[in-house]
Amino acid sequence: MIGLVETVRKQVDKNCVTSGRLQKQGCIVLLKDAPKPHLTIDFDKPGSPLSQEDIRCDYLFVADDADVSGWVVPLELKRGAVKATTIVQQLQAGARAAERLVSRRMVVNFRPVLVYGGGMNKAQRSKLKEDDSKVKFHGTLEDIRLLKCGSALVQGLKL
């Protein structure tokens, strides 16, 4: 049986697949203890499923898991000020790209993640917790997980 990672790998340009660190704008997320095998698509690289003119998040992380499910994780890394509405739009764009790559029939855990540095003011943090800030993937709404720059992605995968 072909897993999620191999299914996605066959559909994307190898030029947008990254195997190194996940780092943007001076913010990094660590892949230590992340599920394996995994694949990360850099939406800023040539061949990305999203155009450079489109609103987009930074990465799409997909992974197979030990059980029958996999992981689909749109990621936005932000060092500076966070604007909730922009973050939601960026992560939703990543989710839409993932919907084209991952069949509804595949059982996956969907987790949109914002990795941020610096401060996030209370109003923006509150906005990210509102119902209209959830990200939709194949008809299911999911809260945005928040991680500080330098954290391990696996922390954002937990319920």
Cα 87-92-94 angle, rounded to 5 deg: 100
Structure tokens at 11: 């559909």
pLDDT tens for 63-102 read 998 776 899 999 999 988 899 999 999 999 999 999 999 9
Quick one: pLDDT at residue 158? 81
- Is pLDDT above 80 for 159? no
Q: Are strands 108-110 and 70-78 parallel, antiparallel or unpaired?
A: parallel
**Rounded Cα–Cα distance for residues 77 and 18 (Å):** 15
Quick one: pLDDT at residue 1? 56
Q: Are 93 and 57 in contact (CB under 8 A)?
A: yes
